[in-house]
Amino acid sequence: MAPPSVTSATVSANPLTYEDKHVHAIYEQIAPHFSSTRYKPWPVIAAFLSSLPTGWVGLDSGTGNGKYLPLPAENPSRVWTIGLDRSLNLLNIARNAGGVYREVVRADALDYPWRGGSFDYAMSIATIHHLATHERRKQAIQRLLQAVSPSHGRILIYVWAVEQDNLSKRQIPNGDDRHADEQSGKDVFVPWVLSSTSTVNDDRTAERVFNRYYHMFAKGELTRLVSDAAEEMGLHVGTKTENTGTRRGIIFKQDGWERSNYYVELHCWAS
């Protein structure tokens, strides 16, 4: 039997209720099975963490099972990453990632439970695409910008792309004008199949399909979203010069596509 297909989604009037049903409730139910499939670090993310100066403290917003908390693999104690996630069941896994007790916080990616500029770096890996509106996705980026040092903070963001590679099992539907265009990506349901050998929370075996909401980003959409988020905060997007007229800004250190994901690396500056 063919696996369930990716289908177009229409976001309801209340995005919080929509996300609770189509994102948060699902990850609480599939946490152990989901975690068992998430163990290999992506190369760009591993390289980002390896590039950080010794002693830096960072945030992984949407940490899931915490697979990036033990990195960099070659020197795990050089930096310290704190994980944040909405899913209690995933955080219970993340708190022992790499066999070491980790600091994790249960909160939403749009919450702001710390002082501004508390972190040296922040990551959002495969999280912002679960937010159901453009404004909420932009606000999540602003939370990252607020969390890191305005003078030296670094940020890495990954989101799923409409443009899938040949190894992807996901076939993104063409949809219609209500769901997508070349500028704004596509709202879809991506199925997660809990196989007959997996267990749900009450330890009964079952085979169920959970349709998770994703906003699949179009080419250039993440870059525009980051720029809009920064400019709305009064930040300059680009290198620091005498003519910028502002005292804080960001530059795009990386802006790329990897294995069906778009990503950006940002460096903050202040004069």
Per-residue confidence (pLDDT) for residue 39, from 0 to 100:
78
Q: Would you say residue 58 has pLDDT above 90?
A: yes
pTM to 2 decimal places: 0.91
Cβ pair 205, 117 in contact under 8 A: no
The b-or-e profile of 176-196 (16+ CB within 10 A means b, else e) is eeebbeeeebbbbbbebebee
Per-residue confidence (pLDDT) for residue 194, from 0 to 100:
85
Among candidates 100, 133, 190, which has minimal Cα distance to 15? 133
For the chain, the average pLDDT equals 90
Q: What percent of the chain is predicted at pLDDT more than 70?
A: 89
Cβ pair 265, 253 in contact under 8 A: yes
Query: pLDDT tier at 178 (50, 70, 90 boundaries)?
Result: very low
- Rounded to whole angstroms, the Cα distance separating 201 from 198 reads 10
Beta strands in the chain (DSSP E): 7-8, 57-61, 80-85, 104-106, 121-125, 154-160, 180-181, 185-194, 208-216, 236-237, 248-258, 261-270
Per-residue confidence (pLDDT) for residue 203, from 0 to 100:
56
- Rounded to whole angstroms, the Cα distance separating 138 from 136 reads 5
Query: pLDDT tier at 242 (50, 70, 90 boundaries)?
Result: low
Per-residue confidence (pLDDT) for residue 12, from 0 to 100:
83
Return all residues near 55 (Cβ < 8 A) that are at least 6 apart.
78, 79
Range 157-174 average pLDDT? 83
Q: Would you say residue 175 has pLDDT above 60?
A: no
Per-residue confidence (pLDDT) for residue 46, from 0 to 100:
96
- Rounded to whole angstroms, the Cα distance separating 239 from 259 reads 29
What are the tens digits of pLDDT across the range 25-52?
Answer: 999 999 999 998 877 899 999 999 999 9
Per-residue confidence (pLDDT) for residue 179, from 0 to 100:
42
Return all residues near 25 (Cβ < 8 A) that are at least 6 apart.
none
**What are 148's strand-pairing partners?**
119
Q: What is the phi/psi pair of residue 187, to 5°?
A: -95, 125
Q: Would you say residue 204 has pLDDT above 90?
A: no
Query: pLDDT tier at 197 (50, 70, 90 boundaries)?
Result: low
- The dihedral through the CA atoms of 241, 247, 248, 249 has a sign that is negative
**What are 158's strand-pairing partners?**
125, 263
Strand order of the sheet with strand 236-237? 104-106, 80-85, 57-61, 121-125, 154-160, 261-270, 248-258, 236-237
Q: Would you say residue 232 has pLDDT above 90?
A: yes
